[in-house]
Structure 1
Amino acid sequence: MSANPIYLGVVGVGGVARPSRPLLADSPRSGTGLFAGDPPGDWATASATPSLNKTGALPAEEMATYLASAPGRAILVDNTSDINLARSYPTFLKKGISVVTPNKKGFSDDLSLWKEIFSSAAQGKALVYHESTVGAGLPVLSTLKDLVATGDKVTRIEGVFSGTLSFLFNTFAPASGSSNAQWSAVVTQAKELGYTEPDPRDDLNGMDVARKLTILARLAGLEVSRPDSFPIESLIPAELASLPSSADGISQFMTRLPEFDAQMANIKDAAEKEGKVVRYVGSIDVASKAVKVGLQYFDKDSAIAGLKGSDNIISFYTKRYGANPVIVQGAGAGGEVTAMGVSTDLLKVMERLH
């Protein structure tokens, strides 16, 4: 055990938290006191304890006070997607508690919260790392931050930011060969494989991509007020958008989606006639301050058209790199890779705090 242990408060024990534990336990930095009072091997047992599962989360103020009382530096790891907890980050940061999280809700909420999070971190001399809010374990935010910090001018950011929508279009309109698959069948396949949210409309409405674009745009220097402040093309047929988000509403949506297959087929065919494929992308034009999310056509030999499976690809066009963008590509979704991103952030924070 280090003479200067670091105390960790973890909120959320689900898909991201579980795979992160063995990663941290195997890390060469795990001897720093990260698991003080709770060895990593005991987490699986502890999380299965009935009393732990029955106890609700403490209020944010109470958690912050508890962590601030630790006899050393403390870090909050928020593995949830809870907007209310994210809105409480300033409470932790002002008390000197650093934050590591894949929760994109706070960083893409009102611009005022974004500013308050980072001003609170400065006030409390705490750190904020949120690499996994965009691209899971891919080094997307760190690449952008490095470009900006070294004086490069980012002119445009473009890419496929959703693993779900990447899979849908790579399957529906592959760049190599052709596919006769109906759009509704591909959505059903993605849902059965677990690629979509329980309600596929949460992927098809484009809001998840819009949140990621908001974060990137802000890091690139644009003061985007909210993720709904720019054009977002929804892939939900207007006639089905008002169905309830209940199990019955989801079932109705999936049952009726084939009625609209012709609309998506027409879009695919129109791209084909131009020798192109359709993809769902997000783009940021820094000079014109234009941010948008939606369908675009791409040449079949382009990097975006050639994506496989559910991979993400993000291209950074800058003054320094000219016509050839810096490209980050790979698995951008899933518990294991997101856990890697969170664990990497955590190790970076620990190194800086020591």
Structure 2
Amino acid sequence: MSNLYLAVIGVGGVGQAFLSQVANLPSTLRPSLIFVSRSTKQLYNSSYSAVNASDLQSSSSKLLSLSELSSYLSSAPGKTILVDNTSSQDVADSYPSFLSAGVSIVTPNKKAFSSNLKLWNDIFSAVDSSNGKALIYHESSVGAGLPVISTLKDLIATGDQVTRIEGVFSGTMSFLFNSFAPADGSGKGKWSEIVAQAKDAGYTEPDPRDDLNGMDVARKLTILARLAGLKVQAPDTFPVQSLIPEALASAKDSSEFMQRLPEFDGEMEAYKDQAAKQGKVVRYVGSVDVAAEKVKVGLEFVDQGSPIASLKGSDNLMCFYTKRYVANPLVIQGAGAGGEVTAMGVTADLIKALERLR
């Protein structure tokens, strides 16, 4: 694929897994890697010849700004795909410029598709005006490697009408509530203990408040709602229930937050007991009511035996209710986080882009 070129920003956990997966693609499918970047290092050359990602650390290449990178990639002697494995808002904001320059984008970066609605519109306007020269794929911005976005797009493209989307969109929240309030009633640990276990096991961000504030779920719901046709302005424009006790919102760091969290175990225990009295279990659920144009994220009491209540471990679960799937929704379930599965979604998107650009 000598006329197809690949540029990669971000070589952390997802980025490393992605590069490894790309290296194992058949040579007939693998594009030429011409640019690799991390926060303080870049590797490329003026001749657009292939580079080896392992040489990045010792690279002395001049650092290009995002606008300079756009010019560099758009001048390559072939078609270029930029893979953004970061969560950078600055990189996301530059997508319209890259796309307008004919550079395709593959990314798991949620911020590009869940920030203000203008950025969303600018991104897809740039794609439309490129007449097929620039593509964008972002399957892994929701559900890691799970086929969530592609399934939703297929439902809509084939004439189905999506009425409701709901599910558990966070591997962290899934683990917390499946451990704290399992459907079989076996959960005995206190909420703060479960959060500490999740943090120690790497299921939460270094500061668990970044998960417990619900904004990660809100961003995913924003993306799905927009794909379903709702003009959601931003993830902070609909109800999002934070699980951070108000008194701990200003804790100076993660250590202080975790140290004081046991003071508030009673609040979560009350939710658990209230759900049990109704024969239900408490879960952290995101939902999009397309007909009512309402999006919300927060605690809900769900029936035991339902798909959401029956989740195990840190799995995600998304239910699509449509005119075709009325009583029994189309359900997608599986690991919704992790470097390897997220990278798999990115690599699969890369393959789709390569096939269309060939």
Interval containing the TM-score (normalised by the shorter chain) = over 0.9
Deviations 1:8-37 (CA, angstroms, capped at 9, x unpaired): 111001011111122112223654433364
Deviations 1:223-281 (CA, angstroms, capped at 9, x unpaired): 0000000000000000001223xxxx111000000000011011101111111110001
Give the TM-score of the pair, scaled to structure 1: 0.94
- CA distance in 1: counterparts of 2:291 and 2:99, whole angstroms: 33
In structure 1, the residue matched to 2:100 is 94
In structure 1, the residue matched to 2:13 is 15
Q: CA deviation at 1:106?
A: 1.3
- CA distance in 1: counterparts of 2:268 and 2:68, whole angstroms: 50
Alignment match of 2:348 (pick from 344, 348, 352): 344
Which structure: greater helix fraction? 1
Q: Are 2:197 and 1:189 equivalent residues in the alignment?
A: yes
Confirm or deny: 8 A CA contact 1:29 1:347 kept in the other structure: no
Q: CA deviation at 1:59?
A: 1.5
Confirm or deny: 8 A CA contact 1:167 1:190 kept in the other structure: yes
In structure 2, the residue matched to 1:82 is 88
- Give matches, 1:1-354, under 5 Å: 2=1, 4-28=2-26, 31-35=29-33, 37-38=49-50, 42-43=52-53, 45-47=54-56, 49-51=57-59, 58-124=64-130, 125-244=133-252, 249-354=253-358
Confirm or deny: 8 A CA contact 2:108 2:139 kept in the other structure: yes
- CA distance in 1: counterparts of 2:64 and 2:230, whole angstroms: 35
Q: CA deviation at 1:180?
A: 1.4
Please tell me the root mean square deviation across aligned C-alpha atoms, in Å: 1.4
Confirm or deny: 8 A CA contact 2:316 2:335 kept in the other structure: yes
- CA distance in 2: counterparts of 1:171 and 1:314, whole angstroms: 19
Q: CA deviation at 1:306?
A: 0.8
* Structure 1 alignment gaps of length 5 or more: none
Number of residue pairs matched by the alignment: 342
Q: CA deviation at 1:300?
A: 1.4
SS of the residue corresponding to residue 3 of structure 2 reads coil
Deviations 1:105-162 (CA, angstroms, capped at 9, x unpaired): 0100110110000001122331010000000000000000000011100000000000
Give the TM-score of the pair, scaled to structure 2: 0.93
- CA distance in 1: counterparts of 2:228 and 2:314, whole angstroms: 26
* Structure 2 alignment gaps of length 5 or more: 35-48
In structure 1, the residue matched to 2:42 is none
Deviations 1:25-59 (CA, angstroms, capped at 9, x unpaired): 222365443336436xx43x224x3336xx78531
Share of identical aligned residues, percent?
Answer: 62
Give the letter for the 2:50 counterpart. Answer: D
